[in-house]
Amino acid sequence: MPSVLTGLPKAGRNRAWLRAALLALPLCCLGLTGAGASSQPVDETALRHYAAQRQVARVEAEARRLAALNPGWTMPADLWTARPSGADERPLWALFAADDMARLKLAIAARQKAEPGWKPSDDLAGKIRHKEARAAILKRAASGHWSDVAELAADLDQLGRSNDVELIWTVAEGLARSDRMAEAVALYKDILAQRNDPKERIATMHKAIALLPMAEVETLLALGRSNETGVSEFASIAIAVTRARISAILHDQRKEPIGPAEMALFEAYAKGSTDAGQSGLVAWLALKQERHADALAWFRHAIAQGGDAMIAHGLAHTLLRLGQRREAEDVAFAARDALINNAILFIDILEEDLTRPQPATIEPERLARYARVTLDTRSGEGAQALGWYAYNACQFETALGWFQRASAWLPKEATIFGQALSLQRLKRQREFLDLVNRYDGLFPKVVALVVPDGSEAMPGPCDAPARRHDGAARPSRAETGMVRADLRIPSADGRMAQGAAQAIRRSDFPLAVAPENPLRFGPVLPASGDAWRTEAAEARPLAARRVPGVMAMPYERLGFTLLAGWNGVQTASDVRAADKPPASGTLWARNAARAQAAGHRAGHDAARTGHNVMSGLIDRGGPALISQRFRR
């Protein structure tokens, strides 16, 4: 504790040193060694008044009283050096105590105008600054502007040590939420090192657990005090600590396993709790540790307790790991509306069965349900799966409908390739050529359909042998069983017109075609694709440009080359554009640089964001940016 004689003139020291020395030990025993424990500022008006009058005995008596009322309070460092207040400041102090800051400022301004050169005492001026800074910080915190809280906290350094623990908590939260973890940890450590109130210490740990990485929380737990029997003061929050450790393991922030005794205690708590989230935590941990039977039991227990759609998501994943695919599909379907993850998982589960080269028989009810969810969610993956299922069952009209939907919702190479193959099978030559020309420069596999390399393609499930072994005529489709009439595959719309077959001529490729997919402009395919156009077709140059990250086109081996891409690239590359460093000056580049400065985790998120941006550009307008011709 700073001595009460610090800053006192030498004459005062000589008369009072003995009394102060005798009082030093009792003051220490009262706990005047750390930051104040009260959540409200301590009223030191009388203490400072006695100090201004150099009344040492009264200062010591007032210090005893304040210490008894406010455990943890400390003697102000500027007690003897601050410019004293006068008796005429009492009205100002009354306004300060009433928290009427507006009238207080007006009163100070009026006093300064009436008495040039007058200033409020250091004590009053300091308390005004502290109260204003406190109000500003709490206001920013209430609105969630945590970066402002962290910046405003710098002003508190000029106000001396704060006795307001609520303010310290708020500042620490602002620092933690602004990625200034080291400073936040330092504040929490300071509270635990200097404050003695058990409730405040427990509350500090609760706040730290909610905001800090578990590794930092462990350092704070090490500062806990133990009683005579060796029990930590933080034993009362053991469940919260275990919960945080489980969460850290699930987020790959902790490698050390949780001890059996600690885990058994938490499992007993979760089993008796009405909160399904507690059982869900145990279930997710078991699933991550590949204890699938335990995970299944805990997920089912959580569902019985009223678990939400995320619990159902975990249950579906567990059933998949156990090989119970149909059960997992039913669970994901039931919870599809409450959580988009379940709708995506539902699509993924059956997709694997639908895209097999030799299609298995799937119940019509399941197919109808799958088609309904695909249309409701506009799932490109689901539409593509149904397209391949119909194609491999030789139901090409149905396959084309689903591939068209898939290419509108998720225009990737496999989808466009399936659509092109379906058009070939249906001998709709003009539509086939338009499709190939539209994606020239982007999807080599699609362009290869009109630029064959001479190799013989592997026969598909709908390809009959050219001749029988005995030399007899080619068998019919009914004889080969190619058309799977037993598979009742729902149609995407059922309004597809047949076209006349044409042979590919040199003049058919390249062609100038509309670059956009007409199905992108509406939920249903009309009788004519042109009906979706919102404006007249514009004249476009007959030129194909290379898309960054796309491999060489099949015709390039014949001496043709694509025009340079929008960024000047003229050579093919196996590296995807999303995997390349962002271009200098772009928003992606600035975000990546900022994230790299913030740390590895933020850098990973920025890279993922950049990838999504590039994917979104390709999905929304990539093909529309590609013209349709190559040149020599």
For 388-436, the pLDDT digits (tens) are 999 999 999 999 999 999 998 988 999 999 999 999 999 999 899 889 8
Closest CA to 384 of 406, 358, 404, 359: 406
Q: Looking at the predicted structure, is the pLDDT value of residue 569 above 50? A: yes
| Chain centroid, CA 379 distance in Å | 22
Question: What is the DSSP code (8-state) at residue 455?
Answer: P
CA distances from 624 to 442, 529, 545, 611 (A): 11, 16, 12, 20
Dist. CA 466–CA 585, nearest whole Å: 59
483's tokens: 């058309």
Closest CA to 212 of 223, 225, 221: 221
Q: Phi and psi (nearest 5°) for 617? A: -65, -45
Q: Out of 249-258, 472-481, 508-517, 559-568, give the one with best mean pLDDT.
A: 249-258
Residue 502 CB partners (closer than 8 Å, separation 6+): 429, 430, 508
Q: Looking at the predicted structure, is the pLDDT value of residue 116 above 60? A: yes
Full DSSP string of 547-560:
PTTPPPPGGGGGT-
Instruction: Please report, to the nearest 10 degrees, the dihedral formed by the alpha carbons of residues 351, 356, 357, 363 taken in order.
Output: -80
Amino acid at 224: G
- In this prediction, residue 90 carries a pLDDT of 80
What residues form DSSP beta bridges with 226?
A: 232
Provide mean pLDDT across the span 316-344. Answer: 93
Instruction: Please report, to the nearest 10 degrees, the dihedral formed by the alpha carbons of residues 79, 80, 83, 88 taken in order.
Output: 70
Residue 467 CB partners (closer than 8 Å, separation 6+): 473, 474
Q: Phi and psi (nearest 5°) for 360? A: -85, 160
Residue with tokens 């704070």: 220
What residues form DSSP beta bridges with 631?
A: 561
245's tokens: 């450790």
Dist. CA 222–CA 185, nearest whole Å: 13
End-to-end CA distance of the chain: 88
- In this prediction, residue 3 carries a pLDDT of 43
Q: Out of 212-221, 487-496, 522-531, 596-605, give the one with best mean pLDDT.
A: 212-221
CA angle, residues 239, 240, 242, in degrees to nearest 5: 65
CA angle, residues 418, 422, 424, in degrees to nearest 5: 115
Q: Phi and psi (nearest 5°) for 498? A: -80, 145
The average confidence (pLDDT) of the chain is 76
Dist. CA 200–CA 198, nearest whole Å: 5
| Chain centroid, CA 458 distance in Å | 45
- Summarised one tens digit per residue, pLDDT across range 164-215 is 788 889 999 999 999 999 999 999 998 898 888 899 999 999 999 999 999 9
Dist. CA 144–CA 245, nearest whole Å: 26
Instruction: Please report, to the nearest 10 degrees, the dihedral formed by the alpha carbons of residues 354, 355, 359, 362 taken in order.
Output: 0
Q: Where are the alpha helices (DSSP H) in 70-164?
A: 90-97, 101-114, 122-142, 146-156
Length of the chain: 632
- Residue 552, judged by CB atoms within 10 A of its CB (0-12, 13-18, 19+), counts as middle
Provide mean pLDDT across the span 150-169. Answer: 70
Question: Are the beta carbons of 321 and 287 closer than 8 angstroms?
Answer: yes
Neighbours of 149 (CB within 10 A): 25
Q: Out of 307-316, 449-458, 550-559, give the one with best mean pLDDT.
A: 307-316
Q: Which regions of 92-156 does DSSP assign to beta strands (E)?
A: none
Max Cα–Cα distance, the chain, nearest Å: 130
- In this prediction, residue 4 carries a pLDDT of 42
Dist. CA 20–CA 27, nearest whole Å: 10
Q: Looking at the predicted structure, is the pLDDT value of residue 629 above 90? A: no
Dist. CA 476–CA 459, nearest whole Å: 16
pTM of the predicted structure, to 2 decimals: 0.63
What residues form DSSP beta bridges with 563?
A: 545
Dihedral angle sign, alpha carbons of residues 400, 401, 402, 405 = positive
Closest CA to 548 of 632, 446, 622: 622
Phi-psi region of 58 (alpha: psi -120 to 50; beta: other; left: phi over 0): alpha
Residue 310 CB partners (closer than 8 Å, separation 6+): 280, 339, 341
Residue 307 CB partners (closer than 8 Å, separation 6+): 276, 277, 279, 280, 299
Q: What residues does each domain of the chain span?
A: 355-454+477-540, 554-625
Residue with tokens 């737990």: 221
Dist. CA 317–CA 315, nearest whole Å: 5
